[in-house]
Chain A
Amino acid sequence: MARHSKLQKQVLSLFRQFLRAGQDKPGFLPRIRDEFRENSSIKKTDVMHIEYLYRRGQRQLDQLKDVNTKQLGTFSKPKVER
């Protein structure tokens, strides 16, 4: 089995940190899983995109760890056919 590249290890580490941080706050875990699942389809070679999402994820993780962030909700609207 091919070993994980450095970037892949960083992404996995970020994912673990997110899961740990989002444990006690409602609404975050499902979204974290959904986001990572959706972005897993990005090609391994598209390093620019992955690094951009990684940097953004680090900022979002800092915000999640902040004691003042309380929950994640969602406003949703059924898509209307145009």
Chain B
Amino acid sequence: MPRLFGMHLPAVSQSSRKLHFSVYGKNNSKVSDGMSTQYPVVDHEFDAVVVGAGGAGLRAAFGLSEAGFNTACVTKLFPTRSHTVAAQGGINAALGNMEGDDWRWHFYDTVKGSDWLGDQDAIHYMTEQAPHAVVELENFGMPFSRTEDGKIYQRAFGGQSLKFGKGGQAHRCCCVADRTGHSLLHTLYGRSLRYDTSYFVEYFALDLLMEDGECKGVIALCMEDGSIHRFRSKNTVIATGGYGRTYFSCTSAHTSTGDGNAMVTRAGLPCQDLEFVQFHPTGIYGAGCLITEGCRGEGGILINSEGERFMERYAPNAKDLASRDVVSRSITIEIREGRGCGPEKDHAYLQLHHLPPQQLATRLPGISETAMIFAGVDVTKEPIPVLPTVHYNMGGIPTNYRGQVITHTTEEGDKVVPGLFACGEAACASVHGANRLGANSLLDLVVFGRACAHTIADICTPGEKLSPLKPNAGEESVANLDKLRFADGNMRTSEIRVNMQKTMQNHAAVFRTGKVLKEGCDKMDAIYQTLDDIKTFDRGIVWNTDLVETLELQNLMLNAVQTINSAEQRQESRGAHSREDFKDRMDELDYAKPLAGQVRKPIEEHWRKHTLSTVDPKTGKVTLKYRPVIDNSLDAEDCAAIPPAIRSY
């Protein structure tokens, strides 16, 4: 019997469930003696583990390696295949290359864009760090588009203004033609190779290893050989992206399945503001592929069947560059009132042929090709058919401005969950609040990816001893995996998935009504129950994509039920969540009228608060709590917080 040096975990442990953990060989357990199914589990120990290798994940991973931490990056996709690569628009930063600019104006725009649901300390942090983050990217070698004098080219983008909204359109979106996300991800990937992060590519993270309310690591499935891996570490960073695939028509990749949100939900922690789903105004009609807001920034306009530039009526000042939720609603209203384009009058047109062809070729080459491939349209001659499509999830795992995951109780307020961090689209810091401005997401990725690395460097030192972990930690995840691998019900994964997607698309779209949402909640609950009746076909363990898709479906379902239930409960219209039966925003004071003499409503009676949702994974029942918005910036003298006001463009 070999001596066990420095082992934290005892050899054998029995639990009340069906799986039994032991160190291999101790009970004469052989590979396959026909008496039991075996899942070999390799244990790893690191100082920090990052789940996800998109923009935020890579930035956090190499930020940690740079600070001297022994870091592992666990990802189900090769880093350059993460969905960040599809981002087109750009990164906002108040560099002031096109005209004078100040990050405090960017701060105002973001707070207003979030419809005052964003936490102003996090927004302060992000907008103040923005110029530094963009310069850092440029130093990493990101090939930004340039102006004549060699400075970074900044284009106009939705919702960006000068002088706190009074100085006209701001040009602060730094871009790389129309493939900024592609460039960003490849730059970050190239930079990350300089550091000694251990990459575990094509490892599907199943669950967090939680003990006593503390996160002690992650358990993952190696897709290549079917082995289970437990990554023990003191710090876990979740950067798994959004969950666009809960909807039938979205701009997201098939891999955007909200795995991080689901892992956190199964750990019993809440997710925040999931009802706020952004519908990007210009997704190609039919295919759902994205046409960047940068088109409108370069001068493109939206027109209806009468050839009218209808945005002038809905947003007299910003017109086509109003905030995304405003534009999406405007397009939907035009279609509903019968001025839609095409034979079925069900979409709008984005016109670019009035712009000079060389500008289209230099600044927008990617979308010219996308429009040709997916819509058969030559952008120099014809307009592109577009429709609002699900694009981004403002909600996610609640964190503070430093990237630490928090829970909330009414008695103690916000409480940090030790050992757990989140950044990127998976997190909700919340910088985007009820609606995200274009080009703020790529900024969010790099700023908060770096912030997580800094926070971990502040509170921990590399090489710290790990706290003990139960020997059978992660057993429920493996039991679930085993159950799905041998599932023999009646409904296929694809059937259940399509049911969920169609229900979400029909019941929780751009405009929402109480009755339709309630119907959707009941349908989603029924679809959730059908997960017990699922049937999978591949019984193997090597490259079992049927199993992985089923795990992804479980994750999507948890996200979908929280989204639709939170939407049904929120009885107001704010940002991207607009209710036909509750058309106004309900704040603590009525900001449409003079404030003098008004009585402040208590938090139970207004809706300027974050939703915190939890789910019981066995029954699919959603419980909702609420948490107040953080209204103070990090430094009141340097940058005053913006009090709420009526939001119009």
Contact = CB atoms under 8 A, between A and B. Distances in A.
A17 interface: no
B638 interface: no
B23 interface: yes
B156 interface: no
Interface stretch (B32-40, B182-190, B278-286, B401-409): B32-40
A15 B101 CA distance: 64
Interface string A9-31: 00000000000000110111111
A82 B487 CA distance: 12
A46 B337 CA distance: 67
A70 B42 CA distance: 7
Contacts of B36: 76-79
A60 interface: yes
Contact of B25 (A24, A27, A75, A82): A27
Contacts of B7: 26, 71
A65 B42 CA distance: 13
B22 interface: yes
Contacts of B58: none
A30 B40 CA distance: 12
A70 B31 contact: no
B29 interface: yes
Interface in A25-82: 26-31, 34-35, 38, 56, 59-60, 63, 66, 68-79, 82
A73 B5 contact: no
Nearest to A28: B24
Contacts of B35: 78-79
B41 A30 contact: no
* Contact-size category for A: 20 to 34
Contacts of A34: 30-31
A40 B4 CA distance: 30
B45 interface: yes
A26 B9 CA distance: 11
A15 to B, nearest CB: 15
Given A24-B5, A74-B22, A63 B42 contact: yes
B21 A31 contact: no
Contacts of A74: 21-24, 29, 38-41
B45 to A, nearest CB: 5
Nearest to A31: B24
A73 B22 contact: yes
Contacts of A23: 2
A71 B23 CA distance: 8
B40 A71 contact: no
B19 A73 contact: no
A26 B23 contact: yes
B29 A26 contact: no
Contacts of A79: 34-37
Contacts of B61: none
Contacts of B475: 75
Contacts of B482: 77
B233 to A, nearest CB: 10
Interface string B195-227: 000100000000000000000000000001100
Contacts of A78: 18, 35-36
Nearest to A38: B31
Given A73-B22, A75-B228, 13 more contacts: A24-B5, A27-B25, A29-B2, A29-B25, A31-B25, A31-B31, A34-B30, A56-B225, A71-B9, A72-B40, A72-B42, A74-B21, A78-B35
12 contacts: A23-B2, A31-B24, A68-B44, A68-B45, A69-B44, A70-B43, A73-B24, A76-B19, A76-B36, A76-B37, A77-B36, A78-B36
